[in-house]
Structure 1
């Protein structure tokens, strides 16, 4: 693939699938600075991997696979440093148009609680939940994660149950 073609394709895919990069980065980090760092790392890895894209899957599937693998590797590498660090949780979310300040604050709190809960899940479950939140089909999720559609259903149900328990535990003050 010629360099200019690669650049054009990459920019097109970034427009179409860039939100997935930020969602994955946010789920695997604690601060906005870490989110930005991880997003940059994901984009770098996607750029480096683009010449090896064999078109055996969709661009969305490929982008998610690169994002999740990079995030899991980054998290494993950064874990010792992050354990020492106090989390500074920041929420950057789109607030529903017309929501008053109390509703907006409640939405931010709920999103913050959801991302805290997602970070407590095992990596594979967190990845699955992110794909679900991005409304991928079971087929697309199975392609990204390399597991069967039936396995996606089973694992997703278990992850949702665990996430629900974590969310209830936080709202109870645990």
Structure 2
């Protein structure tokens, strides 16, 4: 009984949880994220090679700004597939790019990066990453970044060809030796 009384008396020394916690301890308020944008209409959008870079594909409607891009950057062990979602991003935001299609559900990290005066979404992975398999098939793929909407990537062999080309230029990462 004495132990219970001692425990209760110690609990009384700390203030209870309260709605004005932020005011009491002086935590600065964080900036709220931007409101989500609507998913773009991708009817008629296609994958095309970039006129500026050989190993880069742009996805969008002809004559309009691109919605997405895929690029094989680097050679050898430093090769990577870089993916860009051309949608406004909040400064220093981080998210997951979900890819659903071709019998796969994949998740890739994607971060807000500064591109000129704007922030947009970009990420990179090793070209041998299994998450890219969603892009290598012959069916459409849904690519979603929370807050930046979903883009339907219409079927095309070009993303799969770019990924295979990048894989051919890069050694497959070493797998840890099996332990017995």
Alignment TM class, shorter chain as reference: under 0.3
Instruction: Work out which of the two has the higher radius of gyration on C-alpha atoms and give 1 or 2.
Output: 2
Q: Please state which structure has a larger fraction of its residues in helix.
A: 1
Q: Please state which structure has a larger fraction of its residues in strand.
A: 2
Structure number with greater CO (CA < 8 Å, separation at least 6) is: 1
Give the TM-score, by structure 1 length. Answer: 0.24
